[in-house]
Amino acid sequence: MTNQIIPAVKRRQIIELAETGKRMDGRSLTDLRKVEIKTNVVEKAEGSATVKFGDTYVIAGVKFEIGEPFPDTPNEGVMSVSAEFVPLASPGFETGPPDENAIELARVVDRGLRESKLLDTSKLCLIPGKKVWIAWVDIFILDHCGNLIDASSLASLCALLTSKLPKAEVVGDEVKVLDEFVPVPLRAIPINVTLAKIGDKLFVDPSLEEEEVMDCRLSVAFALDDQKQEKICAMQKGGVGTLSFEELLRAVEIAKVKSQELRKLLPSGEK
């Protein structure tokens, strides 16, 4: 997708329209599209959520499994995020293993969730050094209409927020999984906002058309730390354009305001 021929006419159209503060779909440069969140959509998963940003449609599922911890963190559970760009989501998606875009997306979402310490992995340890809970977060892109990173981040987040962790009993060297559930141990909540740069303008929540003509994009994740202070927890520039230092700082300011807006949409009033 990164190597398409850029339609020059469309790019001019978008830039000229932006001079008047408007976009092709009628939004202002800083408007989000309509965001829809549904949780617990897949009963067999321990957690799940679908998110729509306009027509972009993403589903994320959470499954918990008992496994071995990483050698350098023997007392901590594991979170693993992966993404699949399934072919039905876009004519440009092909079957096969995740390509660089899917891998980048999964890793960017992962960093946002991980650095904010959303999942308290220290509370997922069963037998230190031997058995821990692994949280598998799998993202499926169902319809690609732009801004997959924000939709995927939000879907993963909401799936984890509404997940239930099976209750486990440790008996000697064995772990018995009971038929009860406990809430997933969570800490801070990260919110990711992506902006696209086209010409000298910054566009919040880029649509597919805007992504096709953009110079580059910047994704920023914000979370509140233990003292409820807002912090930046992840950032990723993507695309082959460049940003000036001034544009970078301006983009981060805009992203922060938008993240606060998105935060209000979270299920069960989580902050």
Partner 1 sequence: MDKKLITEDGKRLDGRRFDELRPIKFQIGVLKNADGSAYVEWGRTKILVGVFGPRESHPKHLAMPDRCLIRARYHMAPFSVEDRKSPAPSRREIELSKVIREALEPAIFVELFPRTTIDIFAEVLQADGSTRCAAISTAALALADAGVPMRDLVSSVAVAKVDGTLVLDVMDMEDKLGDSDMPLAMMPSRNQITLIQMDGLLTHEEFVKSIELAKKGCMEVYAKQREALDSHFRVAGKEEV
List of residues contacting partner 1 (CB under 8 A): 3, 5, 100-101, 103-104, 106-107, 111, 114-116, 216, 218, 223, 225, 229-245, 248-249, 252, 256
Closer residue to partner 1, CB minimum distance, 165 or 233: 233
Shortest approach of partner 1 to residue 182 CB, angstroms? 27
Closer residue to partner 1, CB minimum distance, 15 or 232: 232
Alpha-carbon gap, residue 86 to 111, rounded angstroms: 22
Shortest approach of partner 1 to residue 72 CB, angstroms? 8
Shortest approach of partner 1 to residue 271 CB, angstroms? 17
- Of 236, 207, 206, 8, the C-alpha closest to 101 is 236
- The residue type at 192: N
Token pair listed for 179: 């038929």
Closer residue to partner 1, CB minimum distance, 5 or 171: 5
Shortest approach of partner 1 to residue 212 CB, angstroms? 15
Alpha-carbon gap, residue 113 to 14, rounded angstroms: 33
Shortest approach of partner 1 to residue 178 CB, angstroms? 34
- The residue type at 52: K
Alpha-carbon gap, residue 62 to 60, rounded angstroms: 7
Closer residue to partner 1, CB minimum distance, 168 or 224: 224
Shortest approach of partner 1 to residue 25 CB, angstroms? 27
Closer residue to partner 1, CB minimum distance, 12 or 22: 12
Identify the residue whose tokens are 């914000």. Answer: 222
Alpha-carbon gap, residue 193 to 251, rounded angstroms: 10
Identify the residue whose tokens are 């939709």. Answer: 151
Closer residue to partner 1, CB minimum distance, 90 or 101: 101
Give me the sign of the Cα torsion angle 237, 231, 155, 104: positive
Shortest approach of partner 1 to residue 269 CB, angstroms? 24
Closer residue to partner 1, CB minimum distance, 58 or 83: 83
- Of 236, 62, 79, the C-alpha closest to 162 is 62
233 and 256 Cβ atoms separated by less than 8 Å: no
Token pair listed for 66: 């008992």
